[in-house]
């Protein structure tokens, strides 16, 4: 009987651990999406001349924002 109770407690902590990991993963993804959106918003606010001074064209904004949020591939 004690072995069954111990197994149930281990299963519960395993489920809780997986749930906490899933919540943490969702929070990290939410923060990364916020970085992506902020980067896109700031780069889109620049003029074409400002972007050219930085060596960026408008077609690159999405990729650069993705790299800022999730890193380079």
Q: What is the pLDDT of residues 11-44, one digit of tens each?
A: 557 898 899 999 999 999 999 999 999 999 999 9
- Distance CA(70)–CA(32), nearest Å, equals 7
Structure-token pair, residue 8: 């149930």
From the CB of residue 20, how many other CB atoms can be counted at a distance below 10 Å? 10
- The structure's pTM equals 0.76
Q: Is the pLDDT of residue 9 over 70?
A: no
Q: What is the pLDDT of residue 72?
A: 84
Cα gap 51→44, rounded to integer Å: 9
The C-alpha atoms of residue 45 and residue 68 are separated, in whole angstroms, by 17
Q: What is the pLDDT of residue 14?
A: 86
């Amino acid at each position: 009987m004690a072995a069954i109770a111990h197994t149930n407690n281990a299963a519960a902590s395993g489920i809780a651990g997986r749930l906490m990991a899933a919540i943490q993963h969702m929070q990290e993804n939410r923060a990364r999406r916020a970085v992506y959106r902020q980067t896109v918003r700031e780069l889109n606010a620049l003029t074409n001349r400002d972007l050219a001074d930085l060596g960026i064209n408008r077609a690159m904004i999405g990729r650069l924002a993705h790299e800022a949020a999730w890193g380079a591939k």
